[in-house]
Amino acid sequence: MPSVYIKTYGCQMNERDSEAVAAQLVAKGYTLAQSPDAADVVLLNTCSVRDLAEQKALNKMKNVIGTARSERRDQVVGFLGCMAQSRGQELIDRLPDVDLVLGTQKFHRAAEYLDAILAGRRQKVVDVDVEQGSEAAIREHLLHGAAKKSVTAFVSIMQGCNQHCTFCIVPSTRGEERSRSIPGIVAECRELAGQGVSEITLLGQIVTSFGKRDLPVKDGKSAFVQLLEAVHEIDGLERIRFTSPHPKGYGDDLVQAYEHLPKLCESAHIPVQSGSDRLLKLMHRGYTRERFLGIISKLRRARPSIGLSTDIIVGFPGETEEDFEQTLSLVREVEFDQAYIFKYSPRRDTPAASMQDQLPTEVKEDRNARLLEAVNTLAASRYEALVGSQMQILVEGPSRKNPARMTGRSRCNKIVLFDGSDRHRGRLMDVRITRAGSFTLYGDPAIVNL
């Protein structure tokens, strides 16, 4: 049976899509290869959010093709996902050895197309069409992964985004918002819990808009909160997370969900993008700095130990030093536990790409460095402040860097390492934090668990 190597670029949604493709292929008898060299099929699941991500995947593909050619190996190669969607046939025009270009609504057709190509029935396949119902097609899981059973799982609840932020390519790579049904999602989560998964992360490009058009607000609760409540009912499931929300989706119903749903982990990744109202408006974000800060204080009031992270763009067209300082001051005010900083990258067919006053690379780099410094300093002191505290972690497996250590995650989404063994995998355990490293905590389970 053919072997397949899949490499994923970008966000958790992409990881989830790759997992579903892998599971689909494994069910058909394919084996999973650990490197592209030994594989019959190489698939790159791509990201388009910034130019750098696209360049990485293009270079990787050139390498893969070059190696296969020099070793005279016959290999089927394909692009999947966001860049496949936005560039389509252009990818084959550029790299004629590419056999398959599969868009974001077509992941579930991967096995069928690969079978046809491998059997010589088709030569090249480009399929980037819209497909009705594709939001419900990402269902298969690879729970027995490379080594052992999975403790955590991602569940895709919706696809697409209608927000149209002026910098963002996602509406064109992922399409219009389409949500799955609550019963369909609950059935998938229940099955996962039945197979030993303790923690589920609900995924979508804008999860707070889940079901907006299909499900009316009920007892003051949005469709997304109704979904959280339904998933919360599942026996055996211990923890629920979600990503990515939009700040404007943090109504009081969602803040209250943190109070009355104990399985909902006290952690939130809320992309702010900028601290300047002027820029938030140019970005078409739909909230002000004040509204964002209001959400943060409500969440902290609801769950004081909540872990908060964000995404920020520096160097958006026309960003002045003053705008940037507003972002710096917001970061200082909120004290995020983690912030992912992106230098603005013009994306094709987005309004911001043709705005006046695109900033030079040096300015973007300078602001990136200054913001990073502020974020890291603040985060370091927040991590340091946790030393001495006790927290619950879910043990996920051996640490990648040092397999003698086990790694777990706290409810507030901190990675916690401890000296343990495989018998701890999958356990919820209490640890005392003994030391803080860079975005990592070290814990000692000895005193609290025997």
Residues within the interface to ligand 5AD (CB under 6 A): 49-50, 167-168, 271, 273, 311, 313, 342, 344-345, 347
Task: Work out how close the CB of 157 gets to ligand 5AD at its nearest, in angstroms, rounded to a whole number.
Answer: 18
Measured from the CB atom, the residue of 49 and 308 that comes closer to ligand 5AD is 49
* Residue that has been written with the tokens 């995924």 in this structure: 203
- Cα–Cα dist 446/450, whole Å: 6
Measured from the CB atom, the residue of 302 and 359 that comes closer to ligand 5AD is 359
Nearest to 48 by CA among 285, 339, 273, 348: 348
Measured from the CB atom, the residue of 99 and 337 that comes closer to ligand 5AD is 337
Measured from the CB atom, the residue of 340 and 439 that comes closer to ligand 5AD is 340
Task: Work out how close the CB of 287 gets to ligand 5AD at its nearest, in angstroms, rounded to a whole number.
Answer: 14
* Residue that has been written with the tokens 């992409």 in this structure: 14
In the sheet where 100-102 sits, what is the strand order? 31-32, 3-8, 41-46, 76-80, 100-102, 125-127
Long-range (24+ apart) CB contacts under 8 A made by 342-346 are: 342/49, 342/50, 342/311, 342/312, 342/313, 342/314, 343/50, 343/313, 343/314, 343/315, 343/368, 344/167, 344/313, 344/314, 344/315, 344/316, 344/317, 344/319, 345/49, 345/50, 345/51, 345/52, 346/51
Task: Work out how close the CB of 12 gets to ligand 5AD at its nearest, in angstroms, rounded to a whole number.
Answer: 10
Measured from the CB atom, the residue of 103 and 271 that comes closer to ligand 5AD is 271
Beta bridge mates, 221: 218
Beta strand 307-314 with 338-343: parallel, antiparallel or unpaired?
parallel
- Cα–Cα dist 327/266, whole Å: 24
R_g of the chain, CA atoms, integer Å? 22
Measured from the CB atom, the residue of 113 and 242 that comes closer to ligand 5AD is 242
Task: Work out how close the CB of 11 gets to ligand 5AD at its nearest, in angstroms, rounded to a whole number.
Answer: 6
What is the DSSP annotation of 68-97? HHHTT---EEEEEHHHHHHHTTHHHHHSTT
Measured from the CB atom, the residue of 134 and 368 that comes closer to ligand 5AD is 368
- Cα–Cα dist 309/344, whole Å: 19
Task: Work out how close the CB of 170 gets to ligand 5AD at its nearest, in angstroms, rounded to a whole number.
Answer: 7
Of the chain, the end-to-end C-alpha distance in Å amounts to 46
Measured from the CB atom, the residue of 78 and 315 that comes closer to ligand 5AD is 315
Q: How far is the CA of 261 from the CAs of 228, 277, 302, in angstroms? A: 8, 33, 11
Q: How far is the CA of 447 from the CAs of 77, 185, 429, 432, in angstroms? A: 52, 39, 11, 8
Task: Work out how close the CB of 349 gets to ligand 5AD at its nearest, in angstroms, rounded to a whole number.
Answer: 12
Measured from the CB atom, the residue of 180 and 285 that comes closer to ligand 5AD is 285
Task: Work out how close the CB of 341 gets to ligand 5AD at its nearest, in angstroms, rounded to a whole number.
Answer: 8
Burial class (CB in 10 A: 0-12, 13-18, 19+), 315: buried
Measured from the CB atom, the residue of 188 and 337 that comes closer to ligand 5AD is 337
350: left (phi over 0), alpha (psi -120 to 50) or beta: beta
Task: Work out how close the CB of 313 gets to ligand 5AD at its nearest, in angstroms, rounded to a whole number.
Answer: 5
